[in-house]
Amino acid sequence: MLQPSPSCLIAENYDEATAKLPLDCQMEVYDQSEVFVEKDGDLEFSYTKAIFKQGNKFFYSISERRLPPASVIEVPPSGLHEIPLHHIWPQVDINLTEAPDPLPPDCYVKEPRLIEYGDNKASLNPGSQLLHEATIWEALKDSPHPNIARFLGCIIKEKRLAGLCFVKYSMNLFEVVRSSKAVDIEGCLLGIENGIQHLHGLGYVHNDLNPSNIMMEGDVPIIIDMDSCQLEGAKIGVKGGTVGWASCESGYAERKNDIDALSKIRSYLEEVCNRN
């Protein structure tokens, strides 16, 4: 996976009769990633997916070539697909708490992840998922808990939801374990359990507990990422949990989903940490 890098793209008009963009149209490479597939036991490059920005418009493109992280490249306009603006930044017609302006210097802003656009049904409307998550955090903000992320508010621009603002935490549980840092397994699991019990007590189920959705503030686990969270008993919808971690076979938000996920996290920590 390549990191986003600012550069520009020259969209060459190969077919003037069908061109959707003018010749020599400069566009910013907003994000890009390389996709690999397994072949004969090895990983082989498959394609590059890139997100391009022109003004306030966004496009995605898939190329069979590997693209340098910062360059001027040429692509046919027919290979660019515009992402509808309302799929990225939904209009806000409900009362949402706005983040401080200016934003605190040490905060994290969650924005729609456009590089995944079009990969599956759930990825076709990232703005809708962000708005759903905003309503969850709005419902939770008056009942804070030390093991649940601290929500600072929504970023709203021109009556559209542009992002969610949180206190920034340095590492998630996956990263801590991979760094070979010592983990208080029982203390960590107890903190996660306390956070989940608090969430359940408010009538919600997380539905996507896994080590990448648990940040660590020292030895304190902090639960994040509520885009799969639903009221208990509600249908989970297109945004389910992470494969291999989530147990949402029924398709509904049940406390069992989080309890089973916590059990998998315990097994993971005991296996990996004891091995280290």
User: pTM, whole model, 2 decimals?
Assistant: 0.81
Judge whether 52 and 61 are in contact, CB under 8 Å: yes
Name residue 153's beta-bridge partners.
165
pLDDT at 19: 35
What are the structure tokens assigned to 150, written together? Answer: 């601290």
What are the structure tokens assigned to 221, written together? Answer: 């686990």
Domain boundaries, the chain: 8-83, 88-167, 171-275
Q: What is the pLDDT along the chain (276 residues), one digit of tens a residue?
A: 333 333 333 333 323 333 344 444 567 788 888 888 888 888 888 888 888 888 888 988 888 888 766 544 555 666 788 999 889 999 998 899 999 999 998 899 999 888 888 877 778 888 899 999 999 999 999 999 999 999 999 999 989 999 999 999 999 999 999 998 889 999 999 999 999 999 999 999 999 999 999 999 999 999 999 999 999 999 987 667 777 787 767 789 999 999 999 999 999 999 988 776
Q: What is the CATH number of domain 171-275?
A: 1.10.510.10
pLDDT at 40: 83
pLDDT at 198: 98
